[in-house]
Amino acid sequence: MAQMNESCAECHREQTRPFVFEHPAMREGCATCHNPHGSINRMMLTQADNNLCLRCHAQVQGSGASGDFYIGSVDHTVLLQMGTCWSAGCHTAVHGSDVDPRLRY
């Protein structure tokens, strides 16, 4: 796994450098989210939609209307309706951030 990241890091230096706030998924290896052998999706993502993130970021059913989605204790229902988790203004710093623990920049 570390070896896989090392291979990727030879070219993708910015994504594999140290960050103040690291995305812990990086410890599981680049192949957790990217298929290095090729994908139909941009950035060689294994999934093109929010299922990519929700596999690990446990969503819990809210106490309100049926179908509400909470990540932790934050209601993400409307945000998930708008688009991907990595949309502009949301968690764009998917590999890590030096300023924001929520990986928004």
Strand, helix or coil for residue 61? strand
Q: Figure out which of the listed residues 5, 14, 26, 95 binds another protein, where binding follows CB under 8 A.
A: 14
| Side chain identity, residue 18 | P
Strand 96-97 to strand 21-22: parallel, antiparallel, or no bridges (unpaired)? antiparallel
Strand, helix or coil for residue 70? strand
Q: Does 20 bind another protein (CB under 8 A)?
A: yes
The residues of the shown chain that bind another protein, judged by CB under 8 A, are: 1-2, 11, 13-14, 17-22, 24, 27-28, 36-44, 46-51, 54-63, 67, 69-74, 77, 80-84, 86-90, 92, 98-102, 105
